[in-house]
Structure 1
Amino acid sequence: MIDKSSLTLVIADDHPMLLSGLYDEMTRNGYNVVAKANNGELALQAILTEKPTIALLDIDMPKLSGFEVIKQAKEKGTKTKFIILSFHKETEYVIQAKKLQIDGYLLKEDAFEEIERCFEVVLNDGQYFSKSFAKAALEDASYELQKLNLLTPSEVTILKLVAQQKSTNDIADTLCVSSRTVEKHRSNIIDKLVLEKGTNMLTNWALVNKKLILEL
């Protein structure tokens, strides 16, 4: 059972109607919303100032994304529990959430009861993903994250440059290393990510997963 009297919330969404609807639903059900924000910068300020029990955040917001808000807040040592509330079901978003060790991930299609179930789990130091996620999708995300965690710092740097469509020679010039060294790193990355061998396989994969890679 949730003790609503001691629970404080910050909510953030850049869609005015969704933000207003979420605020109304929370307050109507007895929750204490101490701040609401329509962009990531304001959300971060509210979290650091109000120190809420839970922050319920959209991903796609101006100035700072929900993920960026969480990353910066955690770097400042906040004890707030973070729950994403989004339309995004794609694996790359789930991987980012898992990498940031976000406490909860809900979908905007979920019923209000799902939010309350999520609250109960995260308040007991658990991690909760919406029941709308297929189990296989969550397992795939965990597997992809495990593979990315195998990369060395040098390989991550090169992967980020590949995602920016830099050629092998451009990367070599940027890092002041030989093209052969870059090719060796690319080969190692392909092996660790279990990608098929091929001229453009790594580049194609990096472009598809660019948003995730640039967050590494």
Structure 2
Amino acid sequence: MAKNLNIIVADDHPMLLKGLTEELITNGYNVISTAENGAIALELITKLNPDIALLDIEMPLLDGFEVIKKCEGKGLKTKFIILTTHKGSRFVYKAKTLNISGYLLKDEPFIEIQNCINAIKNGNTYFSTTFNTVFETEISPELEKMKRLSPSERTIVRLIAQGNSSKDISESLYISLRTVQKHRTNILNKLDLESNLESLSVWANNHKDIILSL
């Protein structure tokens, strides 16, 4: 049964941590330890190698994503569930690129955590409906747009996402400022963005995690 799995819970809000832990235990789950920050969570996961780690995203010292990244390559059996208030595309995309088994919102009923744990026990993943909606409606369309860009244009978009100006890009790529501006115009057209000075910079900043991962 899924309730025989060893679970670690990490959240920097004491009341939330206590409430979730008690709810899990009351429902028969085996919570072997808890952590109030990411560093302790990482130490416990590495030491105890639990079946499941329930992690908040925003925690002191290390956030949930950083904990998961640092666990990679350690030969752990642990499956990760992100439990968060964040519904934004930046967080959803970042979670999608990590080896996680579940992404749940804190305002969802406890039954969703149970469904997620059961899915993991059966070798599946389980993501909040909101997670899937955000990915399908906000992230996938932007990924498709990025495919329209040439390698050179992707390089320029990546540099813009990193905060570089047209002058910076011109100097780092050893091309004229006019060439950079021409590329920017072509990129605006391919991405269906408004033809103004700031629209590409705003778009690149809003989709920074997607852009820098490609």
TM range (shorter): 0.7 to 0.9
Counterpart of 2:175 in structure 1 is 178
Measured in 2, the distance between the counterparts of 1:152 and 1:65 equals 34
Counterpart of 1:102 in structure 2 is 100
Matched AA of 1:137: V
Measured in 1, the distance between the counterparts of 2:150 and 2:72 equals 23
Measured in 1, the distance between the counterparts of 2:29 and 2:90 equals 31
- 90, 113, 120: which one aligns with 1:115: 113
Measured in 1, the distance between the counterparts of 2:39 and 2:182 equals 40
Gaps of 5+ in 2: none
Whether the 8 Å contact between 1:91 and 1:140 is mirrored in structure 2 is no
Measured in 1, the distance between the counterparts of 2:42 and 2:157 equals 29
Measured in 2, the distance between the counterparts of 1:179 and 1:116 equals 58
Measured in 2, the distance between the counterparts of 1:66 and 1:29 equals 25
Matches within 5 A, 1:193-204: 194-196=191-193, 198=195, 199-204=197-202
Matched AA of 2:81: I
* Pairwise CA distance, 1:129: 1.4
Helix, strand or coil at the partner of 1:56: strand
* Pairwise CA distance, 1:39: 1.5
Counterpart of 2:38 in structure 1 is 40
The verdict on how the C-alpha distance between 1:9 and 1:201 changes in structure 2, with shifts beyond 3 A counting, is same
Matched AA of 1:4: K
The verdict on how the C-alpha distance between 1:178 and 1:58 changes in structure 2, with shifts beyond 3 A counting, is same
Matched AA of 1:26: L
Coordinate RMSD, CA, aligned:
3.1
Counterpart of 1:83 in structure 2 is 81
- Considering only CA atoms, is the larger Rg found in Structure 1 or Structure 2? 2
Whether the 8 Å contact between 2:93 and 2:209 is mirrored in structure 1 is no
2:65 maps to 1:70: no
Matched AA of 1:11: V
Tell me the number of residue pairs that the alignment of Structure 1 and Structure 2 aligns: 211
Measured in 2, the distance between the counterparts of 1:63 and 1:122 equals 28
Cα displacement string for residues 115-174 of structure 1 (whole angstroms, at most 9, x for unaligned residues): 01011112222221124x27543412551574488589987765454234221222344x
Percent identity reads 46
Helix, strand or coil at the partner of 2:72: helix
2:15 maps to 1:20: no
Gaps of 5+ in 1: none
Measured in 2, the distance between the counterparts of 1:80 and 1:196 equals 42
